[in-house]
Amino acid sequence: MLSEACLSLDLTRELYMNVLDYHNSHIINTSATDGVESNTCRTQVLASCTMTETDADQSYDFYLGKECIGEHMYKEIGIAQVPTSEVCVIFSKTESSLLKKFANHDRDVVQSGPMDVAREGFAGGYAYWTDLQFMLKSTQARRLDSIDDIIAAVTAGDAMVGRTLLSEPELGWSATLEYPINYVNVHPPAKRFQVDVGPVLYPELDSTEAFIVDRVRLAYVMFNQFDAVEFAIREQTALNDDEQARTLHYSRVVKTAAASELYSLSNGGT
């Protein structure tokens, strides 16, 4: 459980702050096989997460790339890999993870490591990145300090960004999650709002995985108040009672105290 002392929002901060412009932020990676360049891929950033090891004063920035379908490159016919798979990458400047999800969980792939790690492809060959560029653009955003502000921003069609702070002081870790608000509910007569956004990057701050990137999970974040959130986390999930058939699904729900903020990108600038 999070320390209550770490959850209060600091409302003395400036009304405006810089956030990622997710629509215009991309990561570009170039791959090679056996020393021969094979492809350059541009991926839109969907969400970000900064994990901070407080005792060591060390931070790790992770970015979730837009998913795609597993593909054979530059074939005139037969582009889709069969069986098909959903593929996405969690990027950072030091280590990244490629996640490949098939209909049958037995074929799922998680390949983590530094930028130049050799990752096995669908046909059995190995490729590694030779270049990795972070094309991250920021924009000024206005903090929404009241329910009325949130309702006004939603009904005006403002682009919005959310931020959630998680903290485990006894473990020496904290994390800041940031994500565009591409789905949100409001009920003006009752002055209520509810965020339901995903996938985002959820950090398991008690994890001891060797690669820090393997401590990050795909999840949906939900909240309708500023001091508590729920996460639906993607993990192996049984399809029946005997657990013989399994898949990846957002099945594990975590409810926790956390500080969240919403921002409007209206009247902002790069």
Average pLDDT over residues 31-47: 94
- pLDDT of res. 269: 39
Shared domain check, 260 and 158? yes
Q: Stretch 133-137: mean pLDDT, rounded?
A: 98
The answer on pLDDT for 172 being more than 50 is: yes
Structural domain includes residue 80 = yes
- Residue 115 and residue 187 in one domain: no
Among the ranges given (156-165, 174-183, 231-240), the one the predictor scored with the smallest mean pLDDT: 231-240
Mean of the per-residue pLDDT values of the chain: 91
Domain final residue, candidates 89, 106, 135: 135
Residue 38 sits in the same domain as residue 67: yes
Mean pLDDT of 95-104: 93
* Residue 160 covered by a domain: yes
Q: Give 248's pLDDT tier (boundaries 50, 70, 90).
A: confident
Mean pLDDT (whole number) for 204-230 = 96
Residues spanned by the domain of 190: 4-19+140-264
Regarding whether 28 and 8 lie in a shared domain, the answer is: no
Asked if the model's pLDDT at residue 119 lies above 80, the reply is yes
- Which single residue is written with the structure tokens 């560029």? 133
Residue-level pLDDT at 242: 66
Identify whether residues 97 and 184 lie together within a single domain. no
Q: Write down the pLDDT at residue 14.
A: 65
Nearest CA among 263, 51, 92, 12 for reference residue 176: 51
Say yes or no: 131 and 187 in one domain: no
Q: Distance (Å, rounded) from C-alpha 64 to C-alpha 48? A: 6
Using an 8 Å Cβ cutoff, are 83 and 104 in contact?
yes
Residue 194 included in any domain: yes
Query: For residue range 214-223, what is the model confidence (pLDDT) as tens digits?
Result: 999 999 999 9
- pLDDT tens profile 40-71: 999 999 999 999 998 888 999 999 999 999 99
Q: What pLDDT was estimated at residue 123?
A: 81
One domain, residues 216 and 106? no
One-character DSSP codes across 241-254: TT--SEEEEEEEEE
Say yes or no: 166 and 66 in one domain. Answer: no
> Domain for residue 161, yes or no?
yes
Look at residue 259 and tell me whether its pLDDT is greater than 90. Answer: yes
Looking at 106, 135, 164, the residue that finishes a domain is 135
Q: Are the C-beta atoms of residues 98 and 218 closer than 8 Å to each other?
A: no
Q: Would the pTM of this model clear 0.85, i.e. be above it?
A: yes
Residues 225 and 156 placed together within one structural domain of the fold: yes
Residue 150 belongs to some domain of the structure: yes
Residue that has been written with the tokens 């405006």 in this structure: 16
Contacts of 216 (CB under 8 A, 6+ apart): 49, 51, 62, 90, 97, 201, 202, 203, 204
DSSP 107: G
Return the pLDDT at 270.
Answer: 38
Nearest-angstrom CA–CA distance, 78 and 66: 22
Do residue 13 and residue 61 come from a single domain?
A: no
Q: What is the structure's pLDDT at 268?
A: 42
**Cα distance between the two ends of the chain:** 37
Split at pLDDT 50, 70, 90, the class of 105 is confident
- Whether 78 is covered by a domain: the verdict is yes
Specify whether 150 is located in the same domain as 224: yes
SS3 33: strand
What is the full DSSP assignment across 124-181?
S-EEEEEEEEEE--EEEEEE--SHHHHHHHHHTT--EEEEEEEEETTTTEEEEEEEE-
- Does the structure show a pLDDT above 60 at 3? no
Buried b (16+ CB within 10 A) or exposed e, 193-210: bebbbbbbbbbbbeeeee
Instruction: Give residue 223's pLDDT.
Output: 98
What lies within 8 Å, CB to CB, of 78 at 6+ separation is: 72
- Report how many domains make up the chain: 2
- In terms of residues, how long is the chain? 270
Give yes or no for residue 228 having a pLDDT over 60: yes
| Residue 269, domain member (yes or no) | no
Residues 252 and 145 in one domain: yes
Please give the pLDDT value at position 55: 82
Q: How far is CA 108 from the centre of its chain?
A: 19
Residue 254 has pLDDT above 90, yes or no: yes
Q: Which residue has the higher pLDDT, 122 or 240?
A: 122
Question: What is the reported pLDDT for 104?
Answer: 83
Percent of the chain with pLDDT over 70: 93
Tokens of 191: 């002055």
The pLDDT value recorded for residue 262 is 98
261 contact partners, CB below 8 Å, separation of at least 6:
9, 143, 144, 162, 163, 164, 226
Per the CB < 8 A criterion, the answer to whether 196 and 183 are in contact is yes
Which residue, 77, 104, 135, sits at the end of a domain? 135
Residue at 72 is within a domain: yes
